[in-house]
Amino acid sequence: MTNPYARHDGVPAGGLRGYLCAVAAELGMTGECGCAESGPPASVHLTVRGHLSSFPDRDVVLVWDEEYGWAAAVGIEQEDDLVVLSYLGGEVLPPAAAVAAFTRALLRGEHPGDPRPVRLRAVGDADDLGDRLNRYAS
């Protein structure tokens, strides 16, 4: 059994997965819908239901990493790459409800967030990210 409190460079793997599941639940998603990597840098990818009117044939993917926080991206045809459209910004680990609101606004055709990346922290910073993620571990 995997230890949910196992850390890789200060990021608890179980907490990271739990946070991803909390965001997915806020969006009404169930089952396997994303992946979490403990890094460094720690990151998650979550493919959401729905499409953007400007990219109707492309998947919408939420991405998070421990330096830039959440961003919305679209997949590139026949590639594994993503093109980031907007960063949520503000804080690296916002509540799941804030991520869901950002996503819903994007899917409605609004332009939430900022297209420019703003680094919110650095990998290995001596902050409370690990403790905050541990709250999501089950």
* pLDDT digit string, tens, across residues 99-121: 999 999 999 999 999 999 999 99
Within a domain: residue 2?
no
Within a domain: residue 53?
yes
Domain that holds residue 11: 7-134
Q: How many residues does the chain have?
A: 138
Total domains present in the chain: 1
Within a domain: residue 57?
yes
Instruction: Identify which has the larger pLDDT, 76 or 68.
Output: 68
Within a domain: residue 81?
yes
pTM > 0.95: no
Section 46-67 average pLDDT: 94
Within a domain: residue 30?
yes
Mean pLDDT (the chain, rounded):
89
Within a domain: residue 18?
yes
Within a domain: residue 41?
yes
Within a domain: residue 114?
yes
